[in-house]
Amino acid sequence: MINEIIQYYTEFTSACALLPMWFWIVCVTILGLLVGSFLNVVILRLPPRMMFEWRTEAASILEDELKPGFALGEAPPSLVFERSQCPKCGFQLKAWHNVPLLSYLALGGKCSSCKTKISMQYPVVEALTSVASLACLLKFGPSFACIAALVFTWLLIAMSGIDVHTQLLPDQLTMPLLWIGLLLAVNSVFIAPVPAIMGAAIGWGSLWSVNYSFKKLRGMDGMGGGDFKLLAGLGAWMGWAMLPMVVLLSATVGAVVGITMVLMRKHARENPMPFGPFLAAAGWIAFVFGDVLMDGYWRVMG
């Protein structure tokens, strides 16, 4: 099995090398926009579907204990098979309304039916996904490693968007991130198996330990379990040696953003702030630019 994967990888790399770089830049830029449009759907639809599934499962277990009038409600739309619609008026979007970035500009940032402003999340996620995808191509070139890096990037963007809205990091995204990273390490696509396994274990255990200590001292959780799994996934992709950089960078940026938002009264001091987006951003930066950052650090340190 592994030998076949290596053979396919070699053939794919050889075929990609025959095509000019500008071709791949155009393809990945467009692909990033299209995937970004789909990630918006995932960010908005996955949490309601998770909640509906939880309620359905709870109803099947607690069938005899539910209060009168309990209702599951209508199932939320699927991620793929149902058309997008305006969240305000329910107008079903036409095909040209879903063209990434261009449709937002053509509509003037408003729904064509009720003229309600379209959330900036849509163009921002599309543009961010495209730019981040292009950065992966420039880093790894047209190769199997680039495809893996794109999957890594898209999972992190989807997780971050969901965490911002709901303060949840779904297992449907964090666990694939972890297992894909470990499987790639079998063939040492980015790192060897031992650093990947150690990275996953240390990533999960370190944040779990911090949260356990915080709970003992303050009597409340300092972060959610999804953060443990996310850092474990990042460790599986990059190895344990990169985790201190990820944690330090995410904690620093998170603290600066949090303090700024509190001072600007955009966020109440007592309200929790999702840590997942900072972990994801720091992990992506370390994954793509980690070698450059480490070289710069050692040069500064002499």
Q: Name the most confidently modeled range: 32-46, 102-116, 267-281.
A: 32-46
* pLDDT at site 2: 54
Q: What is the spatial distance between Cα 41 and Cα 227, in angstroms, rounded to a whole number?
A: 22
* pLDDT at site 45: 87
How confident is the model over 75-100, as pLDDT tens digits?
666 666 666 766 666 666 666 667 67
* pLDDT at site 208: 85
Cβ-proximal residues to 146 (8 Å cutoff; 6+ apart), any chain = 136, 137, 139, 140
* pLDDT at site 193: 94
How confident is the model over 99-141, as pLDDT tens digits?
677 777 777 777 766 777 878 888 999 999 999 999 999 999 8
Q: What is the spatial distance between Cα 290 and Cα 296, in angstroms, rounded to a whole number?
A: 10
How confident is the model over 132-187, as pLDDT tens digits?
999 999 999 888 899 999 999 999 999 999 999 888 899 999 999 999 999 999 98
Q: What is the pTM of this model?
A: 0.85
Q: Which residue has the tokens 């509190």?
A: 262
| CA-to-CA separations, 221 to 9, 208, 212, in angstroms, rounded | 44, 10, 8
| CA-to-CA separations, 182 to 19, 192, 201, in angstroms, rounded | 30, 9, 11
